Structure 1
Amino acid sequence: MHWEQLLSLKRQGDTFKRLRKEQDETRLGFEVDYDRIIFSKAFRSLQDKTQVIPLSKTDFVHTRLTHSLEVSVVGRSLGRIAGKKIVEKHPYLSEIHGYKFNDFGAIVAAAALSHDIGNPPFGHSGEKSIGEFFKTGAGKKYQSVLSKKEYQDIIDFEGNANGFKLLTESKEGVSGGLRLSYATLGAFMKYPKESLPKKPTKHIADKKFGFFQSEKEAFINVANELGLKQTRNGDKVSYARHPLTFLVEAADDICYTIIDFEDGINLGLISEDYALEYLIKLVKDSINTKKYNSLVYREDRLSYLRALAINTLITDAIDIFITNEDAILKGDFHVSLLDKSTYAAQIKDIITLSVNKVYKAQEVIEKEIAGYKIISDILDVYSSALINEKENKASNYDRLMISTLPKFYQRTEISLYNILLNTCCYVASLSDSAAVHIHNKIMGKQLN
């Protein structure tokens, strides 16, 4: 893979070349990507979507929105630092093509900003509840009328694939979705494969999948434009990652490792003593003990340790990325950057503590259980209504329910697969509160 191709400014539907050296420096194409994402409806809905604690009533616990903004900030730093080293190593990028180190930061920041844009309400349990409705619930009856890959798309409903759909899907009057640059779309594509075969190797890019069958053509188009390395042939669509995806992933890994841990401390699920013990292991080489001891309030002490820990992991991730640049460009780097981290043991300890104390906390479990029921019931009502309408069997209740959907999701002239997938994507688009509100109406608990 080659950087000058990987940094493509092309957008879906372009009929002309977008050359970096002809870009307006006051409004660079990669920065336009960031603006389009942040002003999108899908991004705004993240303000009321669970990061770890579903339906939290506290104001210091992260939502998908605050998490995405923080990941974007870390991603920008990773991209800029890596970009500076790459441009120094490959001066032709600047001298011939006009690329600058800030371009890398802008691409990674935009991709990182959108990395959770396709995630359903109620955290990761939201993805699982959508899948299980079709795998073991009432939606299993549709298996016989779907292809294997179509069925796999919905029983393993994937936020990353839904994100790619949101960013690229054409609608009436809006061709190409947000029309982001292919470089940003490439960096966003964390798992550049389709849903089958499932986990064919231990390669990090094979862990999940990155597009639904409905976006297969768009995905291949982006991959080919960027010159991504094809890793499987025939009817098995799979590519090596865009190199900058590793930086997007590292930004996410750094933030959720440190910040989910911080949320647990702020909620009282993890004691501050643990925080000191675990975080200081990460920052022992950079901490200013005198400054730390002068901080009176817990929030200030945590903030100081968090900043040092994030900076430590950024520096470490960059070293790993640059050291392995050649292997990454060849598609031969098979793990996440932090899996190679000098601090891998400390990261593992922090994540293990977060899992045991935060992710498995009773409050989290109880709300995830409620989320399963809410999502299953909403899926059942809407999928049944839409399929009945397609088959001319709709009841008055079915038609009433369909009328409550946004126009785009009311369509029944499309294939059964697309009706079911659209229903999943509609449910995934809901914020936590909106899902609760709709469920209350379905259950007759709320009349306004």
Structure 2
Amino acid sequence: MTADIGFGAQALAVYAQNPFESRGRLYPEPESPTRTPFQRDRDRIIHSSAFRRLKHKTQVFVYHEGDHFRTRLTHTIEVSQIARSLARALRLDEDLAECLALSHDLGHTPFGHEGEDVMHECMAPFGGFDHNAQSLRVVTHLEQRYAEFDGLNLAWETLEGLVKHNGPLLDPDGAPLGKFRNSELPFAIRDYAARQDLLLSTWPSAEAQAAAIADDIAYDAHDLDDGLRAGLFAIEDMREVPFLADILSEVDGKYPGLEESRRIHEIVRRSITRMVEDVIRFGMQNLDELAPKSANDIRMAGRCLVGFSDAMTTAEKEVKRFLFARVYRHEDVLAVRRLVARVVRDLFTRFISEPDLMPKPWNVGLEGLGEEATARRVCDYIAGMTDRYAIEEHRRLFDDTPDLG
């Protein structure tokens, strides 16, 4: 591996993001005497209103279905733990990796991906909805707590990683990539990019890449866990996935007759361990081959360096296919998704036609906003709701609120 940079007791690789060489904040502030810029960002994220609301936002199972299923908050904490582990092993800045893990879902709507799908449908005339772009909007505009600026005024590296942790959003000529290839970048990203250049055509830092793959690892393993505990499939069903079958055989061989709850836990934790160790091995291999001399070399590498090997990529896709069929498309889950979709759609339709029904401060200054700006105000309001609050708002406005219990 390449040489180290010493920061007190911590030694980072030369390709890690040096917190003392940050590109700064949109609104300049005096540096903290006790925290690096990324430690300060982490603290601002944790103390934000949007972070607290994750406690009552759906991951897969809606809040009423049980206290032991993951919420957006518990998922986020699990992602941050994995991201820090990856960063530590690869000698990256753990605080930046943690920042990005903690902030990656701040823009999610209530009711998980169903809420996002409905919001995208409702906002289609105005460019659609993307939770990643909404996360940027939350931390740069919607969190209004500080006296001197809107948003959290996070460091450039945090915003960059938040926006493009899954890869470049633009090609070198400025054309949108990936899911935006046939459209345009979401409003929130275009709006902020006009104020601060986040280098949207390059790859993000290695810390952002670690946070992105940590998200995949966490939700794969824990959706398996929640699906099993919800009874959506049986342990033996996992044998149809070679990666899981191998782990199951390993567990049963070492602990024959193990009670089901412990058996589930062994499967889940070994899944996480195998995936994490694969990313570390493959990441080290990639970094040794490239021999980057700076964090900027990571951005200019032209490919992801912190991710799964080819073999694990195949295995992980098989896990995702299993989860799609057995969990996300399970009739019990779909039945609830249909109900909550109506809640989000009803709220959007009512507030668009009667925006003054939104409470303060959302209903203030609506005169002369125009259709698109009004729709964005409504979208921001609904996207920030918890599951519970969305149900309460529906009950306030409608007489036929679905019974999720």
Scaled to the shorter chain, the TM-score interval is 0.7 to 0.9
The alpha carbon displacement at 1:220 in A equals 5.2
Q: 1:424 to 1:281 in 2, by over 3 A?
A: same
The alpha carbon displacement at 1:108 in A equals 0.8
> How many residues are matched?
371
Report if the CA contact (8 A) 1:160-1:211 is conserved. no
Is 1:179 matched with 2:146?
A: no
Specify the SS of the correspondent of 1:410.
coil
Equivalent in the alignment of 1:213: 187
Specify the SS of the correspondent of 2:74.
helix
Equivalent in the alignment of 1:10: 24
CA distance in structure 1 between the partners assigned to 2:130 and 2:374 by the alignment: 17
Report if the CA contact (8 A) 2:87-2:97 is conserved. yes
**What code does the residue aligned with 2:234 have?**
S
Equivalent in the alignment of 2:95: 106
Report the RMSD for the aligned CA atoms in angstroms: 3.4
Q: Which runs of 5+ in 1 are unaligned?
A: 85-100, 136-142, 144-150, 232-238, 387-398
Is 1:434 matched with 2:367?
A: no
CA distance in structure 2 between the partners assigned to 1:189 and 1:409 by the alignment: 29
**What code does the residue aligned with 2:232 have?**
L
Q: Which runs of 5+ in 2 are unaligned?
A: 1-14, 291-296
Q: 1:273 to 1:209 in 2, by over 3 A?
A: farther
Q: 1:336 to 1:321 in 2, by over 3 A?
A: closer
Equivalent in the alignment of 1:247: 210
Specify the SS of the correspondent of 1:189.
helix
Report if the CA contact (8 A) 1:409-1:423 is conserved. no
CA distance in structure 1 between the partners assigned to 2:182 and 2:83 by the alignment: 21
CA distance in structure 2 between the partners assigned to 1:184 and 1:267 by the alignment: 36
Match of 1:418 among 362, 373, 383: 373
Residues 125-184 of structure 1: CA distance to partner in whole angstroms, max 9, x if unpaired?
Answer: 11111122244xxxxxxx4xxxxxxx22xx3x0111110000111648451411222222
Report if the CA contact (8 A) 1:55-1:367 is conserved. no
Is 1:165 matched with 2:137?
A: yes
Report if the CA contact (8 A) 2:59-2:112 is conserved. yes
Equivalent in the alignment of 1:396: none
Equivalent in the alignment of 2:221: 258
Q: 1:200 to 1:177 in 2, by over 3 A?
A: closer
CA distance in structure 2 between the partners assigned to 1:430 and 1:328 by the alignment: 37
Specify the SS of the correspondent of 1:324.
helix
**What code does the residue aligned with 1:11 have?**
R
Report if the CA contact (8 A) 1:161-1:210 is conserved. no
Report if the CA contact (8 A) 1:167-1:179 is conserved. yes
**What code does the residue aligned with 2:131 have?**
G
Is 1:368 matched with 2:337?
A: yes
Residues 23-57 of structure 1: CA distance to partner in whole angstroms, max 9, x if unpaired?
Answer: 74x53332222222122111111111111123442
Specify the SS of the correspondent of 1:407.
coil
The range that moved more, 264-273 or 157-166, is 264-273
Report if the CA contact (8 A) 1:283-1:312 is conserved. no
CA distance in structure 1 between the partners assigned to 2:215 and 2:151 by the alignment: 24
The range that moved more, 35-44 or 256-265, is 35-44
The alpha carbon displacement at 1:328 in A equals 4.5
**What code does the residue aligned with 1:132 have?**
E
Q: 1:288 to 1:354 in 2, by over 3 A?
A: closer
Query: Which of the two has greater helix per residue?
Result: 1
Note the 1:23-422 alignment, pairs <5 A. Answer: 24=33, 27-82=35-90, 84=91, 101=92, 104-135=93-124, 143=125, 151-152=126-127, 155=128, 157-169=129-141, 171=144, 173=147, 175-190=149-164, 193=169, 201=177, 212-214=186-188, 216-219=190-193, 221-224=195-198, 228=199, 231=201, 239-275=202-238, 278=241, 280-281=244-245, 283=247, 292-293=254-255, 296-325=258-287, 326=290, 328-333=298-303, 337-338=307-308, 340-386=309-355, 399=356, 401-402=357-358, 405-408=359-362, 410-412=364-366, 413-422=368-377
Equivalent in the alignment of 2:8: none
* Length-normalised TM-score, structure 1: 0.72
Q: 1:295 to 1:39 in 2, by over 3 A?
A: farther
Q: 1:123 to 1:199 in 2, by over 3 A?
A: farther
